[in-house]
A = this chain, B = another copy of it.
Amino acid sequence: MPARILLQLDNDSHPSSFDSVVAIDAGVDQLLRYGNVQTDSIIPLVHGAMFTRGGDDLRSTAIFIGGSNVKQAEALMKAAKNAFFGPVRVSMMLDANGCNTTAAAAVVAASRHLNLSKARAIVLGGTGPVGQRVAQLLAHDGASVTLTSRSLDRGEQACEEIRSKLQQDSRIVAVSSETLQSDSAVLQDQEIIIACGAAGVELLSEQSLVALPNLCVAIDLNAVPPAGLGGIGVTDKAKPIGAAVGYGAIGVGGLKMKTHRAAIASLYESNDRLLDAVEIYEIAKTIG
């Protein structure tokens, strides 16, 4: 088998060292790393991956799309897909800012404690790249999802985007975090709570959290104190909090890393993998 090559295409000027190390540990032999990748400069890079190896060897070349700007990474993924010619293509994975592996690991962690297909879940600060993906994956597995945002408009727009990726009977609604009181029926109802807000803002106090009567799992994906969910430590991993269990960002980090490595390795199983949120989530399930 020829050397496993990964084109690491990053929208930051310095391609992520994190993504490079994980790729190496996932078995990549040769990394071709690019920073400052734009939609108008990606085509020749993709063509170079497509037209250099033939037949079965083509699956030994793959593309990883990263960088801190998730929207731009999505545009890169789309532009790269458009550069493919029918079966002349290479496998590709998007994990800009770790959005897909983080979301997948969080939802798999939640699924250890209850059946998602019947669960009620709320995603706090759900309009960012991780929040949207967490909401998508929960709804994908049948949960009834509420997504919160400071702006109801932005929340509803996020729901609309998420619905376009889901089956018609998926259940996802937005509420304004401004109007969400700790004693509101919406919050009281929830079994899963996942906080994806910006760093440095407590979205729910420990007192409010432990008082939620139906709460089963609470996950805070914020890695920098103060916690988004009061009472959850960054290294917590299925740690009891009230009658529920809690996870912090590092608490789901082990699963996230294993998912990232497994996803990279799976790129080389064929030349036509496209790994975005749902595909990476399915990989995380086999690990979690």
CB pair A31–B33 under 8 Å, yes or no, is no
Residues of B within 8 A of A152 (CB): none
Contact across chains for A18 and B51 when beta carbons are under 8 A apart: yes
Collect the chain B residues with CB atoms within 8 Å of residue A100's CB. none
The quantity of this chain's copies bound in the complex is: 3
Contact between A3 and B25, CB atoms less than 8 A apart = yes
Contact B257 A45 (CB under 8 A): no
* Residue A7 lies at the interface, judged by CB distance under 8 Å to chain B: yes
**In the assembled complex, which residues on chain B have CB atoms less than 8 Å from the CB atom of A61?**
21
Q: Are B3 and A17 in contact (CB under 8 A)?
A: no
With known contacts A5-B24, A24-B5, A17–B33 Cβ distance under 8 A:
no
B24 touches A3 (CB 8 A): yes
Contact A25-B2, Cβ < 8 Å, known A13-B36, A20-B32, A32-B33: yes
| A82, chain B: closest CB distance, angstroms | 16
Once the chains are docked, how many angstroms separate the CA of A158 from the CA of B52?
31
Contacts A3-B25, A32-B20, A33-B32; is A52 near B14 (CB within 8 Å)?
no
Interface residues of A in 243-288 (CB under 8 A from B): 257
- Find out whether the CB atom of B30 lies under 8 angstroms from the CB atom of A5: no
Q: What per-residue 1/0 map shows which CB atoms of A16-56 lie under 8 Å from chain B?
A: 11111110110001111110110001001111110111000
A49 contact set on B, CB distance < 8 A: 17, 21
CB contacts (< 8 Å) of A48 on chain B: these are: 16-21
> Chain B residues with Cβ under 8 A from A47's Cβ?
17-18
Q: Is the CB of B30 within 8 A of A14?
A: no
In the complex, residue of chain B having the shortest beta-carbon distance to the beta carbon of A19: B48
Q: Which B residues touch A17, using CB under 8 A?
A: 7, 32, 34, 44-49, 52
Given contacts A14-B44, A21-B32, 12 further A-B contacts (CB under 8 A): A5-B24, A13-B41, A16-B48, A17-B34, A18-B48, A18-B52, A20-B30, A20-B48, A21-B48, A24-B29, A25-B52, A30-B31
